[in-house]
Structure 1
């Protein structure tokens, strides 16, 4: 999706002090503030008409603080492709997204679902500390012991608590991975998706996979594929883990490669001006009814469907340990419709469509893939108690809602959050 904006002022931050200065100016003058990390916001939050745009792409430093522990410090404006390349000589990698040009800050604050999610969890599950500038212009270092409520909120709560300038991660010991794509006869999606779902429920945690159905377009025929990544350099174990996927449908293509982890991250380039409508749901149990509802949506109007496998390390963390609380999600269901420049974007909620029939099988949404910004949509993305806790943190640190051009959590006075959850061990070894 391409978003165009005309901000009145752009601040290209190089330091946390630059960020603090921009925040002071916006707050003191009442100037609307927009924050950009990598510029990939599906909701168009990476730019604005008017106001001040705070661009973090100059904060791209990457330091290996302790290679033996995998401790890495990353600027919020770095991209995940750059991070992967910098860590490769150390035999380290961070479970992040799937696109090289996506910014570290934006993806991480929403949760971070990537190609090693079932083995090493979400990106936030590797975060052990952060530097953040709050609405009062104060630069804070936060972790489980220092401002733990802020540390909780920034891991899944988006950019509501402040502007994160750097993040400390414990990286996993990963150099090469085994990856591949299995293509099936596109005429049998129901059987393949059921087979993929059944395999997911018993599969090796080292295996992360995504099943996708792409409609026929002028550029090519319909596609039904499962892309997968095995997080260890072990082709024999990878073949054993993926063998059942070759029996769930009529296979028309099957490729496997052993590659450096950095090469798993691709560049997804859309034509300039392309518009997208996107919905997603985090589903604890991907039932036959839920699959049928998604397929019915795709039958009504050409729709890209993607089913991202979760479980594994995602559920090893207590649901209240981070602001991403959907730890019981079995999968994320994504539906997207696209339109060329100048054409109306087909709705997912219009007459003859029923995204609600898919969403009712979920318990919320992943804010990183949420194209809606209205308060009701944001609130419904989180469990009720998680949203209330985020609103309380927001009220404590940003009562005037300076940071509101985002998937906004409205500040609301409430009980001071207490951290009853603890991070489970998601071992990088």
Structure 2
């Protein structure tokens, strides 16, 4: 059995009982890591980092396991599953372990009448989502997840444990708010939560035969809507004879003021393409889905922030969506609180964005995707003139040039400088990697 000096957590080696389940990511990807460790203390994290360096093993840090970097061939996977504590402190402050899932967080905060703008799915890990920004169902009202971050406990490549905040390690604090897992292992976060345990939420379905009209109408409503109204328009293809193509607007209005919510939502119901709706008061936790990807399903996707959802962009999105029968399109309206944070305050730099566009092609189990990534990338490239840059959290696979696509040049240069200070040997390289200056 593998022994790691100073490590008191769980070690899972190939051939052991738990290995086959521990290696699987949320996207049903299976790799063959050399070892999986689950630390229970920050000292365990430091010991695991030292062991990986001594054995010359690439280090993969796993929170919720939603990215392909969460389980990599030949690596030491540092799984933060045991860091799942959720503690409500005082005055709305909450301390959350990086390995907790957002479904657990929402359920734990609900009895206190609190919520954080978080991942869309219950299974998303707190650590991964937070470090790359965090766009959730409160984004228009309170901003990104990182905009509610007060401090973080970070284990550096050296094994040193530091607290990053506005008053302690401020450059590191700037970097981890958007810079991903490039700078250390964040074990716990302290957030300022918000008083929205209940929301008014649901969906409106639109006529799927006229995407251009649906997109334009939705955009016009959202431009005039109060910031309390969050919404995402999703276009889905047919999935067999019993599931026709659909266009759905999912919406969330924080709070319980039904009159104000109804006034904000009514213009969506009045759209000429509106077909049906279901809107009710519910717990914020109910906004998070429990969807799991079927085994063997492959999704090839691209995304980008846009400063303006123009008529020209809408035309381009209609063409893009028609390019493949199994296309999925998602446009998320995010303009609001995130725009009021200065662009240089965090490493998340796309503060001028009005919306986030995600385009994907879904391949059923067993279907060949050989050469498809290049074809899909060529189609997406036609939107390059409309986009500001990619969103790291929705770029879950390994692709070349991701850091350059996510960060503007000046932001990337500052991140590389900080990386050179805290991780000069690029120990934390299994991510959308920022190379040290």
Q: What TM-score, normalized to structure 1?
A: 0.92
In the alignment, what sits opposite 1:358? 383
Deviation at 1:194, TM superposition (A): 0.8
1:9 aligns to 2:23 (yes or no): no
Q: Mapping of 1:29-40 within 5 angstroms?
A: 29-40=55-66
In the alignment, what sits opposite 1:286? 309
Q: Mapping of 1:221-240 within 5 angstroms?
A: 221-240=244-263
Query: What CA distance in whole angstroms lies between the structure 1 residues aligned with 2:80 and 2:376?
Result: 41
Structure 1 residue runs of 5 or longer lacking an equivalent are 413-429
Cα displacement string for residues 122-145 of structure 1 (whole angstroms, at most 9, x for unaligned residues): 000000000011111111111011
Cα displacement string for residues 5-32 of structure 1 (whole angstroms, at most 9, x for unaligned residues): 1111111111111111101111222211
3-state SS in 2 of match to 1:140: strand
Deviation at 1:359, TM superposition (A): 3.0
Structure 2 residue runs of 5 or longer lacking an equivalent are 1-26
Deviation at 1:211, TM superposition (A): 0.6
1:336 aligns to 2:360 (yes or no): yes
Do the aligned partners of residues 315 and 286 (structure 1) sit closer, same or farther apart at CA in structure 2, a change above 3 Å counting? same
In the alignment, what sits opposite 2:178? 156
1:131 aligns to 2:150 (yes or no): no
In the alignment, what sits opposite 1:309? 333
Number of matched residues? Answer: 408
Cα displacement string for residues 96-141 of structure 1 (whole angstroms, at most 9, x for unaligned residues): 1111111000010010001111011100000000001111111111
Do the aligned partners of residues 348 and 244 (structure 1) sit closer, same or farther apart at CA in structure 2, a change above 3 Å counting? farther
3-state SS in 2 of match to 1:286: coil
3-state SS in 1 of match to 2:217: helix
Question: Is the 8 Å Cα contact of residues 99 and 266 (structure 1) preserved in structure 2?
Answer: yes
Deviation at 1:156, TM superposition (A): 0.5
Cα displacement string for residues 21-66 of structure 1 (whole angstroms, at most 9, x for unaligned residues): 101111222211111001111xx11101112110001100111111
Query: What CA distance in whole angstroms lies between the structure 1 residues aligned with 2:151 and 2:289?
Result: 27
1:395 aligns to 2:417 (yes or no): no
- Higher RCO (CA < 8 A, seq sep 6+): 1
Q: What TM-score, normalized to structure 2?
A: 0.91
1:180 aligns to 2:202 (yes or no): yes
Query: What CA distance in whole angstroms lies between the structure 1 residues aligned with 2:75 and 2:149?
Result: 31
Deviation at 1:252, TM superposition (A): 1.7
Do the aligned partners of residues 352 and 65 (structure 1) sit closer, same or farther apart at CA in structure 2, a change above 3 Å counting? closer
Do the aligned partners of residues 46 and 143 (structure 1) sit closer, same or farther apart at CA in structure 2, a change above 3 Å counting? same
Question: Is the 8 Å Cα contact of residues 280 and 359 (structure 1) preserved in structure 2?
Answer: no
Cα displacement string for residues 238-296 of structure 1 (whole angstroms, at most 9, x for unaligned residues): 11001111233322211111001111111121111211111000000111111111211
In the alignment, what sits opposite 1:203? 225
Question: Is the 8 Å Cα contact of residues 205 and 247 (structure 2) preserved in structure 1?
Answer: yes
